[in-house]
């Protein structure tokens, strides 16, 4: 029996190693899992919000297009009452409407009896004089006000949306209306507005009306279809705008943002695959593993050495207990207690180190791209943004700026005041930028602004506005400072976007050597 009990005893050295290894593994796995979950949710939230903002922007553009189209028709409606009984000027007005813009596939005039008086283009004029009984025509005759019709299928099997303006005589009698049509299954301005915004990551845009009919889709065969099983489309018009994670018709999980066009009730949905959104998390986890595994190996070696060190005084303590009557036992026990205390502190220090590692991993994504002094992006953020713009072939303007005679500020007031000036300039940059612009501090007193989709003229206006704001804003205790700015543009294509930064740097150099406190635009 004593031998059996003895056989169940575990070596203290092995127990310490097993417990320490288990603790390290659990902490590492918890750290990996927490890092993955946090980064995953950040990517999902960012993608959902980006899609919502993008859908809202397209809805605003579509609304502006519809309002402009109605204004064009309103101009014609004011000119037609005097000429409505003469076919020639009425036909000429439809030709002018069709030729002045690409808004419509056809333009036409219908009198108050529903009879077609004129239509352009010329191949459609064979139906002039016929009574129109399409849903769009009947709706316009009924409401007698500016409107955009619900989509309907014409006699020629075209899916059509009609914009119309009523025609009234000087005494207020309703004479008919002038209208323009969009053929949704053919090339039209709506397709140009939405179809050119395409990304190589599975993202796409689609548009549905209030009846859940597909008005635009990258797959032309789906235009005109009535969608019945999509939960997002079912709730789209009651919610107006927002975000939702959905599964599309092919069973692919998508991250969708949506918005509604006010004048038509159309819903615009921008969505991208969940798998593409989460692709960067794999790289992050690999980076975390590469960072933590060497530290874990070093910790394992340290633990092995500590186990050897700890067991030796503990065995001495057991030996002292067996020799309780020896005069040196008290001294030996005091020594063992000291070693045990130190071992406990080392273990606590190890756990504290692992906790610090976990917290640092949690801040890895944010700290890697943020300048700690100003809160603006750093060079990593700049390089990441440039790679995205280049991948999307999205043109941008670069504004490079720095503070004139900044060395004087540091020499006269000290570096703490210099840091205060840098933070104040960063705040002024935020007030002068547009939504979607990227602001970075590239070093010292040097800053950079990226303006996606901006022309040189717009960028120059932004740069000049910032220059004036900085010039007119005192920064205590320094007073007013000035900045010099260089502006350049990257138009896309095969050129390296870094060339635009080089051109902006050269423009900044010219601004400095031309007297400072000025904006220099590079035409290269």
Respond yes or no: is residue 316 known to be catalytic: no
Alpha helices per DSSP H over 133-205: 135-143, 189-195
Enter the tokens of residue 65.
């297009």
Judged by DSSP in three states, 227 sits in coil
Alpha helices per DSSP H over 157-210: 189-195
Enter the tokens of residue 58.
């397209």
CB-CB neighbours of 301 under 10 Å: 10
Is the peptide bond preceding residue 357 cis, with omega within 30 degrees of 0? no
Sheet harboring 446-452: ordered strands across? 438-443, 446-452, 396-403, 483-490, 519-521
Cβ 503 vs Cβ 524: under 8 Å: yes
Cβ 267 vs Cβ 208: under 8 Å: yes
Judged by DSSP in three states, 41 sits in helix
- Strand-pairing partners, residue 318, are none
Over the range 428-440, which residues count as b (16 or more CB within 10 Å of their CB) and which as e? ebeebbeeebbbb
- Report which of 116, 121, 92 is spatially closest to residue 104, judged by C-alpha positions: 121
- Strand-pairing partners, residue 385, are none
The residue behind tokens 């016929």 is: 130
Contacts of 282 (CB under 8 A, 6+ apart): none
The alpha-carbon radius of gyration of the chain (Å, integer) is: 36
- Report which of 238, 147, 246 is spatially closest to residue 206, judged by C-alpha positions: 246
Which member of 196, 445, 457, 464 is catalytic? 445
Over the range 98-113, which residues count as b (16 or more CB within 10 Å of their CB) and which as e? beeeebbbbbbbbbee
The Cα 398–Cα 519 span in angstroms is: 12
Contacts of 135 (CB under 8 A, 6+ apart): 149, 150, 152
Largest CA distance in the chain: 131
Sequence-distant contacts of 40-45: CB under 8 A, at least 24 apart:
40/278, 40/281, 42/365, 43/277, 43/278, 43/280, 43/281, 44/245, 44/255, 44/274, 44/277, 44/278
Active-site positions? 445
């Amino acid at each position: 029996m004593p031998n059996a009990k003895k056989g169940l005893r575990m070596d203290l050295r092995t127990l310490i190693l097993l417990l320490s290894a288990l603790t390290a593994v659990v902490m590492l796995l918890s750290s990996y899992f927490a890092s993955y979950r946090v980064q995953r949710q950040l990517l999902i939230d960012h993608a959902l919000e980006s899609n919502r903002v993008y859908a809202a922007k397209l809805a605003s553009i579509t609304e502006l297009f519809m309002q402009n189209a109605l204004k064009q028709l309103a101009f014609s409606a004011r000119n037609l009452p005097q000429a409505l009984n003469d076919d020639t000027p009425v036909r000429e007005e439809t030709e002018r409407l069709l030729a002045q813009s690409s808004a419509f596939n056809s333009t036409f005039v219908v009198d108050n009896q529903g009879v077609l008086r004129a239509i352009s283009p010329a191949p459609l004029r064979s139906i002039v004089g016929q009574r129109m009984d399409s849903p769009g025509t009947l709706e316009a005759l009924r409401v007698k006000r500016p409107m955009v019709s619900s989509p309907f299928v014409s006699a020629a099997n075209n899916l059509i949306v009609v914009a119309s303006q009523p025609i009234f005589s000087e005494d207020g009698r309703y004479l008919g209306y002038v209208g323009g049509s969009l053929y949704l299954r053919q090339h039209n301005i709506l397709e140009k507005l939405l179809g050119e915004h395409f990304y190589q990551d599975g993202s796409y845009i689609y548009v549905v009306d209030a009846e859940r009919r597909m008005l635009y889709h990258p797959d032309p065969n789906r235009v005109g279809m009535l969608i019945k099983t999509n939960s997002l489309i079912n709730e789209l018009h009651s919610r107006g705008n927002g975000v939702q994670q959905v599964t599309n018709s092919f069973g692919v999980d998508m991250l969708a943002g949506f918005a509604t066009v006010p004048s038509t009730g159309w819903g615009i949905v921008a969505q991208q695959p969940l798998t593409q959104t989460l692709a960067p998390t794999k790289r992050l986890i690999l980076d975390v593993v590469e960072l933590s595994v060497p530290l874990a190996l070093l910790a394992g070696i340290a633990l092995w050495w500590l186990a050897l060190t700890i067991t030796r005084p503990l065995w001495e303590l057991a030996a002292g207990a067996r020799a309780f009557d020896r005069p040196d036992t008290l001294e030996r026990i005091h020594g063992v207690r000291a070693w045990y205390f130190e071992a406990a502190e080392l273990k606590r220090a190890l756990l504290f180190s692992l906790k610090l590692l976990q917290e640092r991993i949690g801040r890895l994504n944010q700290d890697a791209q943020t300048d700690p002094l100003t809160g603006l992006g750093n060079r990593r953020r700049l390089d990441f943004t440039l790679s995205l713009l280049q991948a999307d072939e999205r043109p941008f303007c670069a504004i490079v700026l720095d503070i004139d005679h900044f060395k004087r500020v540091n020499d006269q007031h000290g570096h703490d005041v210099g840091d205060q000036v840098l933070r104040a300039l960063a705040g002024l940059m935020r007030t002068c930028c547009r939504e979607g612009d990227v602001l970075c501090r590239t070093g010292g007193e040097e800053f950079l602004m990226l303006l996606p989709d901006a022309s040189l003229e717009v960028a120059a206006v932004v740069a000049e506005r910032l220059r004036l704001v900085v010039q007119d804003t005192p920064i205590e205790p320094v007073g007013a400072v000035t900045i010099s700015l260089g502006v350049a543009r990257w138009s896309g294509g095969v050129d390296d976007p870094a060339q635009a930064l080089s051109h902006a740097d050269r423009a900044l150099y010219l601004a400095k050597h031309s007297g400072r406190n000025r904006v220099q635009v590079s035409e290269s």
